[in-house]
Amino acid sequence: MTTRRPQQGDFQIEPPVARHADVVPAVEDRSYIVFVLGALVMALLGGFLLSVVISLSLSGTISWGEERLPQMTQAHGWAQLQGWAGLFVAGMALRLMPRFAGRPPIRTNVTLPVFVLLFFAAAGRAVAQSSPAGTAAETLLLLAGLAGSAGCAAVGIAVGYTLARGRKRPEPWRYFAWAGAAWWLVWAAMVLIAAIEGARNDAFVPARLDDAMAWAVMLGAVGNFVFSVQSRSVPVFFGRRLPSRRKLAAPGALLNIGALLAIASRLPLHGPVRERLLGAGLALAGLGLLWLAPVAGSLWGEAKRLRPRARAAARYVLAANVSVALAGVLLAWAGANSLISGEFESFAARDAARHALGLGMITMLIIGMAQLVSPVFALERAEARPAGLEDHLAWWSLVAAIVLRVAAGLAYGHMDSEPRMHIAAAAGVLAWLGLGMFAFSVARAVRKEPRMKALLASAAGVSETERP
């Protein structure tokens, strides 16, 4: 076997893996950890907690917050999308896209201000819409919108610049990444529009506008980055070749056209026309999701290409893609019904699909891919340690949460509101518990990181003074 002498300008990871006098080692980008921690704060103290409170209030079990339920429901949704999903996806996009494109890491003086803007935007909206009515709530909502607009635009510009300056290879992940960057710029405009509309209306964004924006963000801004990362890595995990551009072009187009139609449905058009546009968008996006799940991801199989210690994380990836396929079927059904009738149809299917994507595609995939691609988890796996109670509890709690929340959505119109909301509340508690266990594993991995680096350096014969 031949080896290549390191050359000036190479990007190398920290010793002990590579070291040469002519090469300046790249400093590890650790800002993604801040995004992960911020996303966990928003999920545990915002999104999932609010889901339990709202479900219990709707069931009549508690009376707290009854006068602000419409606003709190929106706060819950955007704490999940903008806080949990948005922060995590932004952090990983800013970390992974430069690596995929062969570019140096994005500097911390760029990534950390982006985090501050996005975190303030998510937290500010959640607080504004959960607070008593008044000028203060409306002002905070507007400020959060301004911060969110700037933060989303910065993510889109940073990723787009990285892709434009990177290697120009015709790889399919790149097209999803370009689409994702464009959607983050669209999201920047939508955040500002929502803040202005909400500030005029007691911190409540018009329901149809909020719904269309939520679908566009979930499918466009989040979905494209999800399938960008998946299409470049997941098939390899499961022993398959990476999908070609030809295999991904049609489902990728369906996904993005569906998201565009969701936004177009809020144009000043006749009512039935708007409902048919949204229905067509959901139907096309649903078909795209159903197609992408097995092609860009994986619905079955064993992750044989991963090391044994890493294979447990692959089950989260499988569960995420099964949820994507289920959501695709439900969206195609609901969208087709609205397309035919010209009216809002199939609330049960839409609600179930939304939460299959939120708990399944987003939460399960975040946890699975975080364990597979984050350096802190890779270092922890170097230590021989059997799966603990927290690992099993996180998995089974989240699986149960997905099943219960999708069932609660599908039960709309077939079950009294009180027991249905109790099921939804139970799903929220289980999701909160599962995510709490994941947060514990993140904290454990971060705490162990210095010790594991020292052990690996010692084993490779690299002294502390030699390490950068």
Q: What is the pLDDT of residues 270-290, one digit of tens each?
A: 878 999 999 999 999 999 999
pLDDT confidence of residue 385: 62
Q: What is the pLDDT of residues 36-70, one digit of tens each?
A: 899 999 999 988 888 888 888 887 777 776 677 88
pLDDT(198) > 70: yes
In the chain, where the domains are located: 29-205, 207-375
Q: What is the pLDDT of residues 125-165, one digit of tens each?
A: 999 988 887 778 889 999 999 999 999 999 999 999 999 98
As beta bridge partners, residue 415 has 412
C-alpha 390/C-alpha 414 separation (Å) is 36
Q: Say what the pTM is.
A: 0.85
Confidence band (pLDDT; 50, 70, 90) for 465?
A: very low
Omega prior to 308 cis, within 30 of 0? no
Confidence band (pLDDT; 50, 70, 90) for 18?
A: very low
C-alpha 144/C-alpha 109 separation (Å) is 21
pLDDT confidence of residue 241: 87
| CA torsion angle 222 224 229 231 (round to 10) | 140
Residue 384 half-sphere exposure toward CB, CA atoms < 13 A: 0
Total Cβ atoms within 10 A of residue 308: 8
The answer to whether the CB of 47 falls within 8 A of the CB of 124 is: no
Lowest mean pLDDT among 103-112, 146-155, 443-452: 443-452
Residue in 192, 191, 189, 194 with CA at minimum distance from that of residue 209? 194
**Cα-only R_g, the chain:** 22
Sole residue written with tokens 């027991």 = 419
Q: Exposed, middle or buried, 51 (CB in 10 Å: 0-12/13-18/19+)?
A: buried
